[in-house]
A and B are shown apart, each in its own frame.
Chain A
Amino acid sequence: MFALVVVAVLALAACGAPVPTSQLQGVTIENPVPKPSFTLTDMYGEPYDFAAETEGKVALLFFGYTYCPDICPTHMAQVSEVLEQYPDLARKVQLVFVSVDPDRDTPERLQQWVGGFHPSFVGLTGTPGELEAAQKAANVPVAYKEGEEENYTVAHAGWVIAYAPDGLSYSIYPNGTRQTQWVNDLKILAEME
């Protein structure tokens, strides 16, 4: 009987049975959300179609800004350290950082800052209108400036949205997500084709 169960489980796995999202350690989304469609400008000044460029990969979408003192650099460092540690995973994951501070985050600044974390990371910018539309498409609150002085901060969504290769988001990752959680979830998401 046990052997029959094992064979049945293996057969199901071989047929591409969906990986249970209950194993995800991020904040799971009850009704998976489709990947948004928007085109912004990448850090080399070229147009970047988010949905098309990340097709077939695990897409990690994060809205932040390079002068962010805490959440943004920590998220970026966490994901980059995981991808450095797991090169096989790095080939299946694409992190896209969308700046919500177009005044200061020039393409050059994005190249320097985003590229400094991991060579595969992509930084995007755009006009205020394009960035607002992208945030709305991704169902995150629209970021806004806090303070008038030169060293202003930007209030923005502090979580990373993960889209599986099937084009759906099953989970998000708030500030404080640990590397063990990233490793666990990226491995699961990478298999959800």
Chain B
Amino acid sequence: MGDLTWWCVALDRPWSWSWIPYPGIWAASILPMVLYTIAVRRHGEVDWKKARRFYAGMVVFWVASDWPLGTLGAGYMASAHMLQFLLYSLAAAPLLMLGTPEWMARAITDRLRITRVVEWLGGNYIMCAILYNALLVATHAPGTVEVLRRNQLGSALMDVAWVLAGVILWLPIISPLGRREGAPWGRMLYLFTATGIVAIAPASFLTFTTTPVYALYELAPRVTSLTAREDQQIAGIIMKLATIPFVWSTIAVMWFRWAKQEGAM
């Protein structure tokens, strides 16, 4: 039991496809689902459509955090690290938000005494875009990755920060506390700008720099035939291009709903 780790962390040994148990990740994935189920049953009628979204969000969280993706991202491959970020911020976070009923969201934010802050953020495109991109840049900085991924608490903090970044990003679009009033084109423009502008700089840097940026992944035993630089280039491409299907499909849905409301269809 001495070697048991509760969260994915950088390992000083060659990669192996041998399964590694992470009890902390299981607890963090299962406990919210259990508490959610108890809470919605106690509250009365269960909206199973919302519940399925919440469960789906937790499953995405688990897949992104646990072995093998979590282990690869924690210490072996920059591309896995980037894939984790996308799953947390662009899939898990919006699914969890879509699956959270307003009464539950209010109960949580009231208890944390952050309801007014969350409501204010949900109505503030600029602040959400700034905070999301600040978290993106800070958590992908080589120094941050090097320090946080070397210990379990830091690694868990980074994963939580990515979910939090996703929640902030999606607040003006799908806040469980009610979304911002205003024209849908504003939300579309916000989503496009928040995810597509700042990320270009680090994504391009990762793609085009001649030597690896992250010491952690550069010096890790290679998992595949990819070189450290090729792995980093894939990470840069994921950072830039993999957001497109998430963001543009959301913008398309918003546009069609808007057009339908306006009677243009």
A contact residues vs B (CB 8 Å cutoff): 69-70, 73-74, 77-78, 81-82, 84-85, 175-176, 178-180, 183
A84 close to B227 (CB less than 8 A): yes
Contacts of B219 in A (CB 8 A): 74, 78, 175-176, 178
Partner of B227, one of A69, A81, A178, A180: A81
B228 close to A81 (CB less than 8 A): yes
Interface membership of B212, Cβ < 8 A:
yes
Q: Smallest Cβ distance from B76 to chain A, in angstroms?
A: 12
A70 close to B229 (CB less than 8 A): no
State the CA gap A74–B221 with chains docked (Å): 6
- Tell me which residues from 28 to 70 in chain B have a Cβ below 8 Å from any Cβ of chain A: none
Q: Which of B12, B212, B222, B227 has its CB near the most chain A CB atoms (within 10 A)? A: B227
Q: Smallest Cβ distance from A185 to chain B, in angstroms?
A: 13
Q: DSSP majority for the B interface?
A: loop
Contacts of A183 in B (CB 8 A): 210-211
Closest residue of A by beta carbon distance from B212: A179
Q: Smallest Cβ distance from B229 to chain A, in angstroms?
A: 6
B contact residues vs A (CB 8 Å cutoff): 12-14, 210-212, 215, 218-222, 227-229
Contacts of B14 in A (CB 8 A): 69-70, 73
Q: Smallest Cβ distance from B212 to chain A, in angstroms?
A: 6
Closest residue of A by beta carbon distance from B220: A74
Q: Smallest Cβ distance from A53 to chain B, in angstroms?
A: 27
B211 close to A70 (CB less than 8 A): no
A178 close to B13 (CB less than 8 A): no
State the CA gap A175–B14 with chains docked (Å): 14
A178 close to B221 (CB less than 8 A): no
State the CA gap A114–B222 with chains docked (Å): 15
Q: Are A81 and B229 also in contact (CB < 8 A) when A70-B13, A179-B211, A183-B211 are?
A: yes
Q: Smallest Cβ distance from A73 to chain B, in angstroms?
A: 6
A70 close to B227 (CB less than 8 A): no
Q: Which of B12, B211, B212, B228 has its CB near the most chain A CB atoms (within 10 A)? A: B211
State the CA gap A179–B212 with chains docked (Å): 7
Contacts of B229 in A (CB 8 A): 81, 85, 179
A77 close to B13 (CB less than 8 A): no
Closest residue of B by beta carbon distance from A181: B211
A77 close to B211 (CB less than 8 A): no
Contacts of B13 in A (CB 8 A): 69-70
Contacts of B215 in A (CB 8 A): 178
Contacts of A69 in B (CB 8 A): 13-14, 221
State the CA gap A180–B214 with chains docked (Å): 11
Contacts of A82 in B (CB 8 A): 211
Q: Smallest Cβ distance from B246 to chain A, in angstroms?
A: 32
State the CA gap A81–B228 with chains docked (Å): 8
Closest residue of B by beta carbon distance from A71: B221
Some 29 contacts from A to B, beta carbons below 8 A apart, are: A69-B13, A69-B14, A69-B221, A70-B12, A70-B14, A70-B221, A73-B14, A73-B221, A73-B222, A74-B222, A77-B227, A77-B228, A78-B218, A78-B219, A81-B227, A81-B229, A85-B210, A85-B211, A176-B219, A178-B211, A178-B212, A178-B215, A178-B219, A179-B212, A179-B228, A179-B229, A180-B211, A183-B210, A183-B211
Q: Smallest Cβ distance from B120 to chain A, in angstroms?
A: 44
State the CA gap A176–B222 with chains docked (Å): 14
A179 close to B218 (CB less than 8 A): yes
Contacts of A180 in B (CB 8 A): 211
Contacts of B221 in A (CB 8 A): 69-70, 73-74
A178 close to B222 (CB less than 8 A): no
Contacts of B222 in A (CB 8 A): 73-74, 77
Closest residue of B by beta carbon distance from A84: B227
